[in-house]
Each structure stands twice: as structure tokens, then as C-alpha cells.
Structure 1
Amino acid sequence: MQPSVGERRPQSFERVLSSMCTEPHPAASRAAERFIASNPGDPGTYDAVADLETEAVAALGELAGLPEAHGYVTSGGTEANVQAVHAARNLGNAGNSNLVAPESAHFSFSKAAELLGMELRTVPTDGDHRADVDAVAAAVDDDTALVVGVAGSTEYGRVDPIPELAAVAEDAGTRFHVDAAWGGFYLPFTDHEWDFADAAVDTLTVDPHKVGRAVVPAGGLLARDAATLDALAVETPYLETPSQASLTGTRSGAGVASAAAALAELWPAGYRAEYERAADLAAWFAGELSERGYRAVDPELPLVAVDLPDPLFDELREVGWRITRTGAGEARVVVMPHVSRERLEVFLGTLDRLAGTVGV
């Protein structure tokens, strides 16, 4: 017999090492509870949460180098990426039938291409898992609606050469999108060139419900100009607001309010401190793995990919460590706010113990 809803407990984060979601900030949780019944999809009726969304978008714009940002709080990075492709198709000419992205791009671009009836052209990355600019340029043609760059890839935490990709898009007369869903809350504290201030970026994805520590769901789509949202808008005759640019209709007031609350609480000092903590921890962890003889990819952002023998990986999963693999088979450890040195020391102890039992 299945336990009742009241008897069930959510997943503990204690052994979650590969997720890009984390425990929300207490201020975000409180805000989410207050606005749980509000619908930002009907801002004329729910004006208080609409004001919070305006604040959240402005804060995300400041984070991403766009003082007068346009956009909205999405259900996550997938919706934001789909909408970036959607806007590019709508704003292009009739022949705009493909988008070009590195093979490191998130699977949401496959969803976008299928939903919108477009061709997704994926191109190789270089030897360090970043977009190959020459390969991107070779794949672009007169029918390209959008070029995609990744700022914090989900498998290796790599940052593409964003200004160079922007130049490829500009030369081709097409739009340019940056997916910084996970990396966007780390990158302001690095010397990477990745945002609206660094390059001719048209749209950008950045998710408060990842490192931003909002509750799920709270993604973010930012656009350089209002025309992008206008290209997505549909009439909504029975609502108090005449049109709607979001992909979903009813949306999460909890997500919007929590995003505004987390950003107000943590930007910029709290996020800077978390980046410095996570970066130091990822470097230490990669070093510990290397000392044990495992090949670990040098972390660029706080994500460690490491080659583990299949039996060892399986045993770690069996005893409860929530780890996943890259497409090439490495184990991924994402150093999110809930991942502490103490937890990684326990993981390493388990790794050492199990390595002896499986004979590696």
C-alpha cells in the first residue's frame, strides 16, 4: 500500500550531487508561500505579483549587463530557450528555417526545433568542450534564424566564446541567443565575456531556481528590446491585459515572488560569496579525484566531470549518491549551494571504500 501524501517526504539534498536545482533561500520560500495563489499570467488582475516580476526582470538584467531589460519569469530554462527560438523564427524572414548550436547545447533546443518545425544544426565543440566558432560559421546560411552560445554548459560547465559567436551571427544578419541558465549566477564574478554588455546578444536565458536559489519553477528569459516579446505576444481578450508573451498561460506566482525575493536578498554580495565558495570547493574536489588516479576535467565553473569505472559508478548510485553521466560517460558533480566540503569528503570516503570492493 502506498503511503498517503501527508506521510511522504521530499527528496533530501544530502546525497544529491548532479542536480542543478538546490534548496531555496528562506526568503524565497516565504515569498513563494505568500504568492502561491497569484497568477502572473493575468497581470491586470494580479498586479502585486506583476510588480514583483518587473523587479525580478530588472534584477536579472542588472546581473546580465542589460540595464533596461525586457523579459519574464519562465517555468525554467527550457521554456526560455524555446521562446528565444520562437521569437527568432517570428522576427526572421520566411526562409528562416534552422538554428545553429554547439553539441554542448541543452536538449531544450531539440524540443524547440521539433515544436517549431525547424532544423537544429548541431556543430562540434573543440577539445575543451566549447563551441568551435569556425564550425558554427560554416553551418550558418541564409536560412538561419538563430545562433546559440552556451555560458555554463550542463555537462562540463564550459563557457563558449560568446563575443566571437555573436560576431558570426551579426555577420550573417541573424539573431544570437546565450543559454546561461545555470552559469548566469556565477559568471558576473568571473572575467568571462558572456553577457549583453560583452557582445551583441539578443536574448539570454538565466534561471533563478538554480544557483539563484528561488523555488522551482522560476526560470528567466531576457531580451535586449521589446520587439522580441512583441513577436511572442498573442491576444488575450477575456483577461484584463490585452496580450500575453509567455508560452504558458497561468504561471507560478510562487516562482515569480521567490525569484524577486532571492535576488533582493542575495544580489550581488551573497551570490559572489557563493561563487567563491563553490569555485574553491570544485577545484579542491577535482584535485582530490586526480590524486586518486581518476581523470577529472579541470573545472571552469563549479562543475566537476570525472571518469569513473562503470562498476564503481553503479555502486555509488546503489548506496544512494545521486550522480549522473555526461553524454561521453563521465560522472558529473555540480557544486550547488547545498553541496558542502563535508558532504564531498563523505562521498570520497564512500568512493575509496567501494573502489576496493569492485577491484578498481
Structure 2
Amino acid sequence: MRQPEPEPQSFDRVLSSMCTEPHSDARAAAERFLATNPGDPATYDAVADLEARAVEGLATLADHPDPENAAGYVTSGGTEANIQAVRSARNRHRESGGTRGGPEINVVAPESAHFSFTKAAEVLGVELRTVPLDDDYRADPNAVAAAVDDATALVVGVAGSTEYGRVDPIPELAAIAEEAGARFHVDAAWGGFVLPFTDHAWSFADAPVDTLTIDPHKFGQAPVPAGGLLAREDAALDALAIDTPYLETRSQATLTGTRSGAGVAGAAAAMDALWPDGYREAAARAADDADWLADQLADRGYDVVDPELPLVAADVPEPTFAALRDAGWKVSRTGTGELRVVCMPHVTRSALRAFLDDLDRIRR
């Protein structure tokens, strides 16, 4: 029996997602290239050219020293990019003779690191050492320095943490990695499209960053899936390459192999349409909305974590949180239980007012 066509969910009440509605140009480009496979660029050369353009755009955002020739590719998302960063560092550590026949290779990351690093450690057979945060939810450099050793292949810094939107002290962490002989990775999956319009130190220009995750399908307003992995040197991707004897392209550094050209084309189109002014305006609007919401919640007596990037966390009681969910609001909690609201481009001030109206009604 033929079923009614389902309708995609509206973003009107989505306040916790780090994805958003794609730009119209990105949506159209994704549809045009839906059936192409950037995993075999010699066969699908048009989408390969678009991927080079997308990587250059991402490298420009991240202040890569040579954006036109930057190493990288459009991933399925931040999880794939982070796994690949760990894999590249592990392989390069082994190639350099580190820990050969010795202790298990390890990765040092703050407790705020995305759960994709747990996946990476399990898949790749490395030890994940998570270290405490400071009082403001950022990586503690002293704890990181105490955790690294000769078996450390990678140190991770977060530039826009998933729970609190915090930016770690990237230059300090990079210096610790360099002294330990480890690679340094920045996870800017969400923050990367906001940070260029702030004074934070987070990019290739700010520190000796080896690899960096930055996702167009988050604040970049590209269609899902479209993540990004960038590297300072070609060697980082060379460490990932394997032979692909039955393809026109004879080697491949990606993880997923066959990929839809939709993500590549959508990412390139979004950046063409929005960089830099569109992103600057969206970032400023989101920051204003986050500050406004934080003030409104504080005025109502809730303990609020001051926003650094446009993400608001507040200590809202469980019954109130449940009632907001029952009212149709898509909200989530941090690991320690705070209400978490991400001010993405689709989140308007009017939506936040409606959210507060429901909150006030629930509190009565």
C-alpha cells in the first residue's frame, strides 16, 4: 500500500542541533552532483575540481599557509575527520620509529573532546588519555603536559567544544605537542565557521597545527553530509593513502571510499555564496542571540555558563526540561545536566522569545 510522502522536520523548534538549514545555492548544487563519486576523482573529474575548490575555501577560513595547495578533503563529518587525524598521527608515529615494539600508542585529549575520539581509539587500537579541564571548561595545559610521553602520537585541542562552546588554549597545547614529538590536531568542527570573526587563536596561522577538522554542514550552511579535514603538509594525507588497483584513481586517502558528490558540491556552493560577509553576519547575529538568551535565563534565576561562542548552557531543573521537550522544543543537556541551546543560523530571536514564553508558562 502506498504511504503518504513524509515531510522533513521543520527547524522552527530545533535548538540543540549543530546542523542547520542549508543555503539555497548549496541545496541546488548538492542535487546536481548527487550521483557523482569524489572517491574516484579520475573518473568524476568535475566533482574533483569542486572538492579542490571546497578544500581551498576551508583552508582560507582556517588561515592555512598555502590555501590553493592545501592538503585535505570533504569528509562525511567531524567524526570521520577526527578518526582520520588520529589514524594519520598513529601511522606517522609508527613510521618515525616511535614505540615500535614498545608501549601502546596514545592520544591525549581534554575531557571536552568529542566522542568521536573514543570511537577513533577503539577502531585504531590506540589509548585515549583524557585530561581534566580548568574551571572554565577549557583544556588544562598542565594536565596535558603531564599526560604526554614518548608514546604520544597526537595531542588534541578543541576550538568550539560541543557542550559549552569553549576554545582551548591552542598555542599552548601545540607547544606541548611539539616538545613531546607528537602531532597536534584542532577539532574546530563546529567553531571553524565562527572563529574567523573572533580574536581567538585557533588556526594554522596561530600555532603549528598539523591537522584540523572543520565542518561545512554545521555553521557553514552546507547540506549534510559535508565535513572537512585539513592538513598543514601533504605527508599527513600520504600517511592515509592505500592502493586502489581497480579504480582510475590509483590510491585513496579517504576513509569512506565511495562518497556522494552532494556534500562536496554543496560545501563549495555554500562558501561561494557566504564567505566572508554572509558568515560574518551570521556569526554576529548568533553571538548577539546567545548573549541575549544567556541574560534572559540569568534574569529568571538560572545559573548560566557565559557564552564564548554562540552556545548557551544553563542549569534548568529536570521537570522543566522535560516540559520544554513535551512542548515540542528540541533541546538537549550537557554531560553534567545543563540545558544546552546552540544559536545556529536557523535559530531566530523570535524563536528564542517563543521558547522563553513557554519556559515562563511552565514555571508558573
> With structure 2 as the length reference, what TM-score do the two structures score?
0.96
Question: Per the alignment, in what secondary structure is the counterpart of residue 92 of structure 1?
Answer: helix
Residue in 1 that maps onto 2:260: 252
Cα separation, 2, equivalents of 1:258 and 1:84: 23
Per-residue deviation, residues 74-132 of structure 1 (Å, max 9, x unmatched): 00000000000000000003526100000000000000000000100000000000000
Cα separation, 2, equivalents of 1:7 and 1:239: 38
Residue in 2 that maps onto 1:59: 57
Per-residue deviation, residues 140-185 of structure 1 (Å, max 9, x unmatched): 0000000000000000000000000000001101100000000000
Structure 1 residue 85 corresponds to structure 2 residue 86: yes
Cα separation, 2, equivalents of 1:234 and 1:302: 40
Matches within 5 A, 1:208-287: 208-287=216-295
Per-residue deviation, residues 268-317 of structure 1 (Å, max 9, x unmatched): 11100101110011001100000010111100000000110110001111
Question: Per the alignment, in what secondary structure is the counterpart of residue 48 of structure 1?
Answer: helix
Percent of paired sites with the same residue: 71
Which residue, out of 7, 10, 16, partners 1:9?
A: 7
1:11, distance to aligned residue in structure 2 (A): 1.3
Matches within 5 A, 1:32-43: 32-43=30-41
Structure 1 residue 298 corresponds to structure 2 residue 296: no
Cα separation, 1, equivalents of 2:149 and 2:230: 26
Question: Per the alignment, in what secondary structure is the counterpart of residue 7 of structure 1?
Answer: coil
1:73 partner letter: V
Matches within 5 A, 1:1-360: 4=3, 6-66=4-64, 67-68=66-67, 69-93=70-94, 94-95=98-99, 97-356=105-364
2:246 partner letter: Y
1:27 partner letter: D
Cα separation, 1, equivalents of 2:236 and 2:110: 23
Question: Per the alignment, in what secondary structure is the counterpart of residue 147 of structure 1?
Answer: strand
Cα separation, 1, equivalents of 2:61 and 2:24: 21
Cα separation, 2, equivalents of 1:7 and 1:190: 43
What stretches of structure 1 move > 4 A for 4+ residues in a row? none
1:177 partner letter: H
Unaligned runs of 5+ in 2: none
Unaligned runs of 5+ in 1: none
CA RMSD across the alignment = 1.0
Cα separation, 2, equivalents of 1:11 and 1:133: 42
Cα separation, 1, equivalents of 2:161 and 2:154: 18
Cα separation, 2, equivalents of 1:296 and 1:252: 41
Cα separation, 1, equivalents of 2:235 and 2:39: 19
Cα separation, 1, equivalents of 2:339 and 2:87: 33
Cα separation, 2, equivalents of 1:174 and 1:122: 16
Cα separation, 1, equivalents of 2:175 and 2:357: 47
Cα separation, 2, equivalents of 1:219 and 1:326: 23
Per-residue deviation, residues 318-359 of structure 1 (Å, max 9, x unmatched): 111000000010010000000000000000000000112xxx
1:10, distance to aligned residue in structure 2 (A): 1.2
Cα separation, 2, equivalents of 1:82 and 1:20: 19
